[in-house]
Amino acid sequence: MKLEEILIPKVQEAVKNLYGVEITPAQVQFQKTRAEFEGDITLVVFPFVKAARKAPAQVAQEVGEALCGSSTVVQDGSASFNIVEKYNAVQGFLNLSIAQSYWIEQLQVIAAAENYGQLRRDEHPTAQVSSGTPLAKGEEAKGKKPLMMVEYSSPNTNKPLHLGHVRNNLLGYSIAKIQEANGWNVVKTNIVNDRGIHICKSMLAWQKFGNGETPENSGKKGDHLIGDYYVRFDKEYKAEIKALMAEGMDEETAKKEAPLIKEAQAMLVKWEQNDPEVRALWQKMNEWVYAGFDETYAQMGVGFDKIYYESDTYLVGKGEVERGLAKGDFYRREDGSVWADLAQNGLDEKLLLRADGTSVYMTQDIGTAKLRFEDYPIDKMVYVVGNEQEYHFKVLSILLDRLGFPFGKELVHFSYGMVELPNGKMKSREGTVVDADDLMAQMIADAKEISKDKVNTLPDITEEEANEIARMVGLGALKYFILKVDPRKNMLFNPEESIDFNGNTGPFIQYTYARIQSVLRKAGDEVRGERLEVKGEGLSPKELALIQRLVDYPAAVRQAGDEFSPAVIANYAYSLACDFNSFYHDHSILNEADADKRALRLLLSETVAKVIKSAMALLGIEVPNRM
């Protein structure tokens, strides 16, 4: 039973007995005891000071005395103990020291729990939770999970995934895992931007300059191959602009009149008209890209339950825009383009259809939202997209609401900051963009180099296992360094700092886990906490602190879910690893002579490892058994 659940009725009883006043559970407020005071939990007595008609310090003293009385005895299944061992009152705050027997009981509960940290099926804040079909909106059927859809990645098929996509994918995947732990049924989704002028640029460049190059005959991943032709288009396009300007044309006109951009625009119109030749080229090149994306996602350890494609959703969006135009929600300009006037919302005008009838991103997002809510009974829709798109999603919400979709106002844009590398670090083959594949490969190589002296000392280590450890450590370093930062802030990713085995890094936490596994292997089948008792001096301060940190894990999961912040989990895992290493430094485990103490410390170590593995899994990070 949670500490607050035990203490609240005790406080209510004490206040009633002392002052003849009935107080509600909501009036019983607890907070963590400040470090400079003795105690485990602090009761705020101000809510019932007025009813007591006494000074706050006196009320705290009297309530503390009452809680230390026999009325606070609880049962742990084998013995009775007084939950409040001692107290100290500081003005209107009552600092309570909780009996060590309670903490021992909590350790055993955590050790035995199958999915510790996850909400029970009856605990979800918005609906009763169980396995099975998602809860339909408005349906109050017990045993149904509410459904959250989380969109992340959103790549373009004209280039490989880059460093910005890495942060996006890691955040999206981790948020999905955290929300699942908080009782949501989560659908992880992706919208692939597989059409538009940028796609036609790559297609046109390959058509003109490709000479039949393919992933097979070039040895390149498909997404990198197409990305090279996107860069080639830009190079040739700039050369045409420069030539036109040399003939006396101003820059803006030259950008519009350059033959390549006109051809690309004509190709886009043909694509939307279902031209067979253009569509065949588009399909072939997209298949190359998707194969490349799949390799990158697999290496990154992320995935999706449902993938939508702009080529399938943009027509739905165009239909909705036309419907809005007919209703008078939008208007058409003389050139044929369609716009939304958002002045009544304090915003400007937004283009929805170009003059040539082609659609824009907003059109696609309207269509995608409509299809998603038709496909799934979504209770909350979350878009994991960078903060440069905040205006876009504000407008999308307004337009969906204007079109009459009830979910329009409920969309959540999870806005995150940009991620950059130090200058000159790990630049891609183009020299301007850091490819996700290059970044991950370099992180794994660095991990292998840094850890080779440690790994080579492991008995019977095979090359295959060494490579697997390097993969886990390299990717763990990358993921943890990115996810430990408040996602709403811009960040600088430093590869060297991320892979340090000391400090707030993924490898430090992974090494702590591996250290515990080593202890447990050496202990073999030795009994771990079948019968734990507090004897003599009882738990040491560091043992007690470690148990209390374990007890905090569910609260960290709740907070991470409420705030959509993997950083909460990352920093909890780091604190837990620090606490364990401090305990490990000061306490013998396998060489402890007292059998009961040894059993407790083995159980404590095993439980810490279990929670570290759980927390790191919420971040999409694997933990090796040996390092």
Helix (H, G, I), strand (E, B) or coil at 446: helix
pLDDT in the model for residue 76: 47
Helix (H, G, I), strand (E, B) or coil at 341: strand
Domain boundary among 98, 113, 136: 98
Query: Does pLDDT of 349 surpass 60?
Result: yes
Residue 390 lies in a domain: yes
pLDDT in the model for residue 535: 55
Domain boundary among 304, 333, 366: 304
Burial letters 125-142, b for 16+ CB under 10 A, else e: eebbbbeeebbeeeeeee
Distance in angstroms (rounded) separating the CA atoms of residues 475 and 439: 10
Task: Identify which of 26, 87, 33 has the alpha carbon closest to the alpha carbon of residue 60.
Answer: 87
pLDDT in the model for residue 130: 28
Residue 626's alpha-carbon distances to 139, 352, 468, 518, 520, in angstroms, are 48, 55, 11, 7, 12
Q: Is the distance from CB of 341 to CB of 101 less than 8 angstroms?
A: no
The percentage of the chain sitting over the pLDDT mark of 90, rounded to a whole number, equals 80
Residue 394 lies in a domain: yes
**Are both 461 and 549 inside the same structural domain?**
yes
pLDDT band at 222 (very low <50, low <70, confident <90, very high): very high
Mean pLDDT, residues 430-444 taken together: 84
The CATH number that applies at residue 379 is 3.40.50.620
Residue 82 pairs in a beta bridge with: 73
pLDDT band at 70 (very low <50, low <70, confident <90, very high): low
**Are both 286 and 341 inside the same structural domain?**
no
Query: Does pLDDT of 215 surpass 70?
Result: yes
Residues 6+ apart with CB under 8 A from 533: 104, 596
Residue 111 lies in a domain: no
Burial letters 452-469, b for 16+ CB under 10 A, else e: eeebeeeeeeeeeebeeb
Residue 351 lies in a domain: yes
Distance in angstroms (rounded) separating the CA atoms of residues 213 and 232: 14
Distance in angstroms (rounded) separating the CA atoms of residues 554 and 509: 19
pLDDT in the model for residue 434: 86
Please tell me which of 268-272, 560-564, 594-598 the model is most confident about, judged by mean pLDDT. Answer: 560-564
pLDDT in the model for residue 145: 81
pLDDT in the model for residue 137: 43
Distance in angstroms (rounded) separating the CA atoms of residues 296 and 169: 11
Query: Does pLDDT of 425 surpass 70?
Result: no
pLDDT in the model for residue 73: 52
Q: Is the distance from CB of 143 to CB of 128 less than 8 angstroms?
A: yes
Mean pLDDT, residues 569-582 taken together: 98
Residue 423 lies in a domain: no
Q: Is the distance from CB of 153 to CB of 169 less than 8 angstroms?
A: yes
CA of residue 361 relative to chain centroid, distance: 25
pLDDT band at 140 (very low <50, low <70, confident <90, very high): very low
Q: Is the distance from CB of 435 to CB of 162 less than 8 angstroms?
A: yes
Residue 563 lies in a domain: yes
Q: 373-412: per-residue pLDDT in tens? A: 999 999 999 999 999 999 999 999 999 999 999 889 889 9
Mean pLDDT, residues 611-615 taken together: 98
Q: Which of 68-77, 268-277, 614-623 is the least confident region?
A: 68-77
Task: Identify which of 152, 165, 621 has the alpha carbon closest to the alpha carbon of residue 418.
Answer: 165
Task: Identify which of 568, 564, 446, 550 has the alpha carbon closest to the alpha carbon of residue 501.
Answer: 446
Q: 76-113: per-residue pLDDT in tens? A: 444 566 889 999 999 999 999 999 989 999 999 999 99
Instruction: Tokens 């600088």: give the residue.
Output: 492
pLDDT band at 538 (very low <50, low <70, confident <90, very high): confident
pLDDT band at 69 (very low <50, low <70, confident <90, very high): confident
**Are both 276 and 322 inside the same structural domain?**
no
How many degrees, rounded to 5, is the angle at CA 37 between CA 35 and CA 40?
75
Q: How many domains does the chain have?
A: 4
Distance in angstroms (rounded) separating the CA atoms of residues 160 and 165: 9
Helix (H, G, I), strand (E, B) or coil at 104: helix
Task: Identify which of 22, 10, 285 has the alpha carbon closest to the alpha carbon of residue 156.
Answer: 285
Between 278 and 432, the more confident residue is 278
Helix (H, G, I), strand (E, B) or coil at 196: coil
Mean pLDDT, residues 206-221 taken together: 97
Q: Is the distance from CB of 316 to CB of 371 less than 8 angstroms?
A: yes
Tokens of 268: 């886009």
The CATH number that applies at residue 450 is 1.10.730.10
Structural domain range at position 250: 195-304
CA of residue 510 relative to chain centroid, distance: 19
Q: Is the distance from CB of 564 to CB of 382 less than 8 angstroms?
A: yes
Tokens of 607: 């439980």
**Are both 467 and 408 inside the same structural domain?**
no
Tokens of 132: 């099975």
Q: How much is the mean pLDDT over the chain?
A: 90
Query: Does pLDDT of 136 surpass 80?
Result: no
Residue 450 lies in a domain: yes
Mean pLDDT, residues 277-283 taken together: 98
- Rg over alpha carbons for the chain, rounded to the nearest Å, is 30
Determine which helix (DSSP H) or strand (DSSP E) holds 49, and give its type and residue range. helix 49-52
Mean pLDDT, residues 328-337 taken together: 96
pLDDT in the model for residue 531: 55
